[in-house]
Chain A
C-alpha cells in the first residue's frame, strides 16, 4: 500500500476534529518551545559556570608541580621556559599564562588578611578574568612591575586604596619569611567577592625576586575552542611528563559537577514535559481510534491490511508531532532570540556567585539540543502511537458490519 495514501488519509483525519487537533498542536508546540527555552537558559548557565571556572586562573588545563595542590608553596615549583611548549596543531591554544602563586598575608595600616599572592605576566593574562576586569587605577605594566593589584572587597577590608602601600609576607623556599612593601596600582572589580578577597597580583619577576627563584608554580593553558581537545591534553601530559597536568574540572570539581548536572537536568526536564504530553497524545489518538471503529472495520473489510492500519495511526501521530514540533521550534527560537542579548540577574548576584554564574545570563541555543529535542519528540510520538495502534488493529472487519 502506498505511503502517500496513508499520509493523505491521516492528514484528513487530523482535521476531522479541528478544535481537538488545534488544542493538541498548541500543547505540543508550547511543550517543545518551553523545553528549548529552558535548554537555552540552562546551557547559558552551564557555559557561564564553565567560563567562570576557566577564567578564575585555571584555564582549560593547568600545569603544576606534583603535590602543589595538596600543599601549595614556592617549594612546589618548576622552571617552565627550559621545558618549552609542545608543538600543537593549528590554533588550538589561545594562550599560556605562567604564574607564581603562593599563600601570603597582606597588611595595611589598619588590617591584615590572608591572600593568594600571584605573580603574573600581565600580557599573558588575556586568558583569565584579569584580561577584561574593570580596574580603578592602573593595570600592571609588565612582569617587572613592582606594584600590585588588589580586589575591591579586599581593599575595603584593608581600608586601603589606589596609590597606598601595603606589606605582603610569604614564605621562601627555605621556609623563612619574605616580606616586602608594595604600592597599589589598581583595584579590580571582579565577578564575585570571593575572587576579590582571594587574589593579589603583581609582576611575575617581582615575586620571583622576592622568593629568590626563577621558577613558576603553575602555567594555565587556554584553548581557542571551549571543547576540550583530548589531543592537547595528551601533548601537554607527554611534554610535561614530570609535572601534574590538570583540567579545569579537576581543579573546580564543584563547578564541573554542576556543569555535568546541566545535561541531566535538560534530560529530566524534557522527560517531565514530554512525558506529560505523551499521555495527551495517547488519549487523543485512542479517542480518535474508538470514534472510528466502524470505519477502521470497513477499511479492513475492503482489504486494508493490519500493517496499513497501524501505519495510519502512527502517521497521524507523527504528523501531529511534526507540525507541533515545527511550530514549537519556531516559537522556542523566537523566544531565545528575544532573550539572546542576555538576562540581567544582578538582583540575584550573591546567590549566583556561589554557583559561578555571571550576573548577566546569556542563553545558548545549541543546534545539537534542538536536533535532540526534535528527534526525541518524534520518537515519543511513535511510542505514543503504539497503544492506539494496537487498539486500532484489534478492530475486526466484522465491526464494520454492525449497524
Chain B
C-alpha cells in the first residue's frame, strides 16, 4: 500500500469571476507521505491556506485532483466529504474554535459523538488524550475559563482523538505568544513522532516552520521551493 497520505496533481483554484479572476493556485503538484510534518509557508496570498483547504476537503479545486489516503476528493459529494473529514482529517484552527458551551472534555468527546462512538469509550479516550497533552486537570472547564494556549491544546486533543490519518493546522500559533507556541510545537512533534500522525501546517511563523520536517514555500499560487529538513529545531 502507498505511503502517500496526500496527493495533489495539477491543482488549480481560481476565485472571483471571469472578469477579475484571482488565481490562488496554479497547477500545483503536491504530495505528502505518511509521518511527515510539512509546513506550507509563503507570503499572504501565496496560496498556502488555499492548498490546505483543498487538501482538507473544505474547498473544491477549479482544476486538478486531490486525494487523501487514496480517496479522490473530486469525486465525493458534499456529505461524503463531510464523512471523510470526520473519519480521516483532524483540524486545528487559528482561532481554536472550541464550542464554548461544552467543557474541555466534552469538546474532545464531541467529534467522537459525531462518529457514533458509545459514551463510556469516548469519555475514556477523551480523558486519556487530555491527560497525555497535560490537560488532565482542566477537563471540566469550559473554553472561556482556559488560556489561549490551553484552548489550542484542547483543540489539538479534539483533532487527534479520532486518530486521523492527517492533521491540518491553519496558522495554529497565530494567537499564541512565543512560549506557548513552543509548547504547542513540542506537542505537535510528540504527536508526529510518537503517534505517527501526518501533519500539514500553513504558517507565517518562522518558529513553526523551524519545527517542521519539510518546508514548502509557495508564491503566487505556485510552489517555489520544497525542502526536507534533516534536523528540525
Residues of A within 8 A of B (CB): 1-2, 5, 9, 12-13, 15-16, 294-295, 297-306, 396-398, 400-403
Q: Which chain B residues numbered 93 to 148 have a C-beta less than 8 Å away from chain A?
A: 93-95, 97, 99-102, 110-111, 113-116
- CB of B59 within 8 Å of the partner chain: yes
Structural contact, B170 and A401, CB atoms closer than 8 A: yes
Structural contact, A295 and B97, CB atoms closer than 8 A: yes
Q: How far is the CA of A70 from the CA of B100 in the complex (A)?
A: 77
3 shortest interchain CB distances as A-B pairs: A303-B86, A12-B101, A298-B97
Structural contact, A403 and B171, CB atoms closer than 8 A: yes
Q: List residues of chain B with CB within 8 A of the CB of A300.
A: 82
Closest to A401 in B: B170
Q: How far is the CA of A9 from the CA of B82 in the complex (A)?
A: 19
Q: How far is the CA of A294 from the CA of B97 in the complex (A)?
A: 7
- Looking at A12, A13, A304, A397, which has the most chain B CB atoms within 10 Å of its CB? A397
Q: How far is the CA of A302 from the CA of B108 in the complex (A)?
A: 12
Q: List residues of chain A with CB within 8 A of the CB of B58.
A: 301, 396-398, 401
Closest to B155 in A: A298
A sample of 5 inter-chain contacts (CB < 8 A) reads A5-B113, A295-B99, A301-B58, A400-B93, A401-B49
Structural contact, A403 and B94, CB atoms closer than 8 A: yes
Give the distance to chain A from B36, nearest Cβ to Cβ, in Å. 21
- CB of B79 within 8 Å of the partner chain: yes
Structural contact, A306 and B79, CB atoms closer than 8 A: yes
Which residue of B78, B94, B116 is within 8 Å of A2 (Cβ)? B116
Structural contact, A9 and B101, CB atoms closer than 8 A: yes
Q: How far is the CA of A2 from the CA of B86 in the complex (A)?
A: 15
Q: How far is the CA of A7 from the CA of B102 in the complex (A)?
A: 13
Q: How far is the CA of A402 from the CA of B59 in the complex (A)?
A: 14
- Looking at A16, A295, A398, A401, which has the most chain B CB atoms within 10 Å of its CB? A401
Which residue of A5, A12, A15, A301 is within 8 Å of B85 (Cβ)? A301
- CB of B219 within 8 Å of the partner chain: no
Q: Which chain B residues numbered 160 to 188 have a C-beta less than 8 Å away from chain A?
A: 170-171, 174-175
Q: List residues of chain A with CB within 8 A of the CB of B114.
A: 1, 5, 302-304
Q: List residues of chain A with CB within 8 A of the CB of B158.
A: 302
Q: List residues of chain A with CB within 8 A of the CB of B175.
A: 403
Closest to A307 in B: B79
- Starting from the known contacts A5-B114, A16-B100, 5 additional A-B residue pairs (CB-CB under 8 Å) come to A294-B97, A295-B99, A302-B85, A400-B91, A403-B94
Q: Which chain B residues numbered 22 to 58 have a C-beta less than 8 Å away from chain A?
A: 49, 53, 56, 58
- CB of B224 within 8 Å of the partner chain: no
Q: List residues of chain B with CB within 8 A of the CB of A397.
A: 58, 85
* Tally of contact residues, B, Cβ under 8 A: 32
Closest to B90 in A: A302
Which residue of B53, B82, B174 is within 8 Å of A303 (Cβ)? B82
Q: How far is the CA of A388 from the CA of B60 in the complex (A)?
A: 26
Q: List residues of chain B with CB within 8 A of the CB of A301.
A: 56, 58, 85, 91, 93
- CB of B83 within 8 Å of the partner chain: yes
Q: How far is the CA of A303 from the CA of B91 in the complex (A)?
A: 10
Structural contact, B101 and A304, CB atoms closer than 8 A: no
Q: List residues of chain B with CB within 8 A of the CB of A16.
A: 100-101
Q: List residues of chain A with CB within 8 A of the CB of B95.
A: 294, 402-403
Structural contact, A400 and B59, CB atoms closer than 8 A: no
Q: List residues of chain B with CB within 8 A of the CB of A12.
A: 101-102
Q: How far is the CA of A367 from the CA of B172 in the complex (A)?
A: 58
Q: Mark B8-32, 1 if CB is under 8 A from A, else 0.
A: 0000000000000000000000000
Q: List residues of chain B with CB within 8 A of the CB of A9.
A: 99, 101-102
Q: How far is the CA of A396 from the CA of B87 in the complex (A)?
A: 19
Q: How far is the CA of A24 from the CA of B101 in the complex (A)?
A: 19
Q: How far is the CA of A398 from the CA of B49 in the complex (A)?
A: 10
A2-B113 contact given A302-B86, A303-B82, CB 8 Å threshold: yes
Q: List residues of chain B with CB within 8 A of the CB of A402.
A: 94-95
Closest to B49 in A: A401
Q: How far is the CA of A325 from the CA of B94 in the complex (A)?
A: 41
- Looking at A2, A303, A304, A397, which has the most chain B CB atoms within 10 Å of its CB? A303
Q: How far is the CA of A402 from the CA of B91 in the complex (A)?
A: 13
Structural contact, B101 and A13, CB atoms closer than 8 A: yes
Give the distance to chain B from A59, nearest Cβ to Cβ, in Å. 63
Q: How far is the CA of A302 from the CA of B144 in the complex (A)?
A: 21
Q: List residues of chain A with CB within 8 A of the CB of B101.
A: 9, 12-13, 15-16
Q: List residues of chain B with CB within 8 A of the CB of A302.
A: 85-86, 91, 111, 114, 158
Closest to A403 in B: B94
Give the distance to chain A from B140, nearest Cβ to Cβ, in Å. 14
A401-B79 contact given A9-B101, A303-B114, CB 8 Å threshold: no
Q: List residues of chain B with CB within 8 A of the CB of A5.
A: 110, 113-114
Q: How far is the CA of A400 from the CA of B99 in the complex (A)?
A: 12
Which residue of A13, A298, A305 is within 8 Å of B93 (Cβ)? A298
Q: List residues of chain A with CB within 8 A of the CB of B85.
A: 301-303, 397
- Looking at B49, B95, B116, which has the most chain A CB atoms within 10 Å of its CB? B95
Q: How far is the CA of A403 from the CA of B174 in the complex (A)?
A: 8
Q: How far is the CA of A297 from the CA of B93 in the complex (A)?
A: 11
Structural contact, A304 and B82, CB atoms closer than 8 A: yes
Q: List residues of chain B with CB within 8 A of the CB of A15.
A: 101
Closest to B85 in A: A303
Q: How far is the CA of A297 from the CA of B58 in the complex (A)?
A: 10
A305-B82 contact given A12-B102, A397-B58, A400-B93, CB 8 Å threshold: yes
Give the distance to chain B from A155, nearest Cβ to Cβ, in Å. 76
